[in-house]
Amino acid sequence: MQLTNVLLAIALAPSLVSSLPADSSAKPLTSDPTAANATTSASSSSSALKACLQQYPFEQVYAASSNYATYSRPENENLSYKAFAIALPSSVAGASDVVKCVAAQQGTQKLAVRGGHHSYAAYDMGGGDGWTVLDLRKFNSISIDSNAKTATVGAGVRLGTLAQELAQAGYALPHGTCAYVGVSGHGLGGGYGFASRKWGFLMDHIVSMQIILPTTGEVVTASPTQNTDLFWGLRGGGQNNFGAVLSFTYALETAPTQIVDFSYGYRSNSDCVSALLALQDMVSTTSSSAGFPADLTAELLWITESAANGGPACTLGGQHIGATRSQHDAVFQRFRDAVKKHGGSDYDASQTTVKSHTTWANALADDLVMGGFDVSDPNSDHEPYYAKSLIQPEGTLYTKDTATSLMNLLNEYSTTDGTGNSISFAGFGPLSLTNNLTLSASAAYPHRDTLFLYQFYSYGTTTDKVRQRMAQLVDQAKSISSSAQWGGYVNYIDRQLQEWANAYYGSALTRLKSLKSKYDPNNIFDYAQGLAHA
């Protein structure tokens, strides 16, 4: 569970959350292959697909199967979809056979790949009824090559397992903080975590992938020397668009031996406004001796006084890699000074935890970061939520007035209809490796000039009013500049977003669409916000 969710879950009364109606937005935006008015040809293609799949020995789950409810349950409890079939092959040949069976239906049947099953919009089930799900959980091997300093990782591996195995072997990668998130969707869409200013996104460490192509079921390598157009497109645009990635090979970092994990709490909304302005100062500078160096990644989470319930109104959480406690304290003093300069009070010591670690495993397993590596019960990690994202480019800045207006609106909306609503601001800026322009040329991910990556997160059952208010919060944030190139983060995918294709793919969109036409002309790998609909 994300730290955001932990804090909001504590602040919310469960009875308020559970008494609200289900998410009325949970409808497929594309045609539903098993809808009541489906044509005879669609139902005969369903029969043909099932007959094709049933030739093979891999595990298959259908509506009548006893474990169907378990495999067909989205991680986001606000959503509910019914898959046509869930195929769980354990071999490359088996996975290829699934693709070939669906492809043989010439686009009348749709396929969704499932990696770690943590899509916000349940796009690992297509985001609708009737999809065939290629569930890759049995592709769970991790093989470390110490000579090459790489790891080859199956597409069904979750971040907790990856983090633990790498740390035990003395290696590290940048990635998110939820142990149950899968390497697949995460890395194909980016993969941000508390090491990202130092090491970039998980995506930036991919050196090759094995992928099943949609039309032929052939397995090919995408790398800087083979199928280079796919290698470009998969990193930023690869979620269920060009085929099923079966494995990822990553270039590894050496695990650090001095790490400080931190969460600083602030009591009042006005202090949280000052903290946002201070974070802006720390990450917008090009001077690592004036602001936060790239070794330090920090995310400000606004909860607000009205939802704080005795806790902080906001926290600044993150990791400082390669720093001792005293080195961290010296760097963090810059932030404290900036908060003061912007009229805020110092952090509240009773709401603050700062811990030094000498192993990467302990630093990650800390409650301030991943809270452990256990992924043994995927069904324990479900919750109701709705989220929107925003990417603010460098050069677009808050003033005290504009930051205060956003805080006031969030304070008013923070418990709408019994939900708990927050805004997080992950600070990147010019020193951050996520903004490295060399990486920009080699991968489709377009947002290489990010100042803040936002998440507008609503914990609880989402009503129309909640959706409207979340959109208003985004508009309020964007009102600081009408000319800025605002973007969105595909890993925080939002099916309510209107201009989603430009927001998620920006300058890469045209090339990504032509890659989609080239590799998947029948749009077999499909979902409502897939490239075929862009």
Ligand X SMILES: Cc1cc2nc3c(=O)[nH]c(=O)nc-3n(C[C@H](O)[C@H](O)[C@H](O)COP(=O)(O)OP(=O)(O)OC[C@H]3O[C@@H](n4cnc5c(N)ncnc54)[C@H](O)[C@@H]3O)c2cc1C
Q: Is 421 in the site for ligand X (CB under 6 A)?
A: no
Nearer to ligand X by C-beta: 136 or 531? 136
Rounded Cα gap, residues 34 and 133, in angstroms: 14
Residue 312 one-letter amino acid: P
Nearer to ligand X by C-beta: 244 or 501? 244
Residue pair 458/16 in contact by the 8 Å Cβ criterion: no
Q: What does 234-257 look like in DSSP terms, one character per residue?
A: HHHH-TTSS-EEEEEEEEPEEPPS
- State in angstroms the smallest separation of the CB of 225 from ligand X: 21
* Strands laid side by side in the 219-222 sheet: 142-145, 150-154, 244-251, 206-212, 219-222
- State in angstroms the smallest separation of the CB of 493 from ligand X: 7
Nearer to ligand X by C-beta: 136 or 282? 136
Compute how many residues bind ligand X; rule: CB under 6 A.
36
Point out which span in 46-54, 86-94, 176-184, 467-475 binds ligand X (CB under 6 A).
176-184
- State in angstroms the smallest separation of the CB of 181 from ligand X: 5
Q: Is 487 in the site for ligand X (CB under 6 A)?
A: no
Q: Is 157 in the site for ligand X (CB under 6 A)?
A: no
- State in angstroms the smallest separation of the CB of 520 from ligand X: 11
Pick out residues in 242-261 that bind ligand X (CB under 6 A).
244-245
- State in angstroms the smallest separation of the CB of 412 from ligand X: 26
Applying CB under 6 A, among 177, 274, 411, 421 the residue interacting with ligand X is 177
Q: Is 319 in the site for ligand X (CB under 6 A)?
A: no
Q: Is 42 in the site for ligand X (CB under 6 A)?
A: no
- The 55-94 site mask, x for binding ligand X (CB under 6 A), equals --------------------x-------------------
Q: Is 190 in the site for ligand X (CB under 6 A)?
A: yes
Residue number of the CB atom closest to ligand X: 185
Applying CB under 6 A, among 192, 386, 454, 459 the residue interacting with ligand X is 192
Q: Is 113 in the site for ligand X (CB under 6 A)?
A: yes
Q: Residues 89-93: contacts with CB within 8 Å, 24+ apart?
A: 89/56, 89/58, 89/59, 89/134, 89/138, 90/58, 90/59, 90/138, 90/139, 91/58, 92/210, 92/212, 92/219, 92/246
- State in angstroms the smallest separation of the CB of 131 from ligand X: 9
Applying CB under 6 A, among 124, 253, 261, 295 the residue interacting with ligand X is 124
* Structure tokens given for 114: 């499932």
Closest CA to 147 of 256, 251, 257: 251
Point out which span in 78-86, 102-110, 178-186, 511-519 binds ligand X (CB under 6 A).
178-186
**What three-state secondary structure class fits 154?**
strand
Applying CB under 6 A, among 119, 161, 270, 297 the residue interacting with ligand X is 119
Rounded Cα gap, residues 215 and 449, in angstroms: 36
Rounded Cα gap, residues 6 and 8, in angstroms: 5
Q: Computed over its alpha carbons, how large is the radius of gyration of the chain? A: 22
Applying CB under 6 A, among 71, 81, 87, 114 the residue interacting with ligand X is 114
What residues contact residue 354 under an 8 Å CB cut-off, 6+ apart?
A: 260, 261, 262, 263, 264, 325, 328
Residue pair 441/274 in contact by the 8 Å Cβ criterion: no
Rounded Cα gap, residues 331 and 320, in angstroms: 10
Residue at token pair 């098993």: 34
Applying CB under 6 A, among 128, 174, 185, 200 the residue interacting with ligand X is 185
Task: Indicate the pairing of strand 132-135 with strand 111-114.
Answer: parallel
- State in angstroms the smallest separation of the CB of 117 from ligand X: 5
Nearer to ligand X by C-beta: 317 or 429? 317
Applying CB under 6 A, among 130, 189, 217, 233 the residue interacting with ligand X is 189
Please report which helix (H) or strand (E) contains residue 318, including its range: strand 314-321
* Structure tokens given for 407: 């805080």
Applying CB under 6 A, among 28, 89, 130, 182 the residue interacting with ligand X is 182
Point out which span in 111-119, 265-273, 399-407, 472-480 binds ligand X (CB under 6 A).
111-119
Residue pair 81/125 in contact by the 8 Å Cβ criterion: yes
- Residues in contact with ligand X by the rule CB under 6 A: 2, 75, 112-120, 123-124, 136, 155, 176-178, 181-182, 184-186, 188-193, 238-240, 244-245, 491, 527
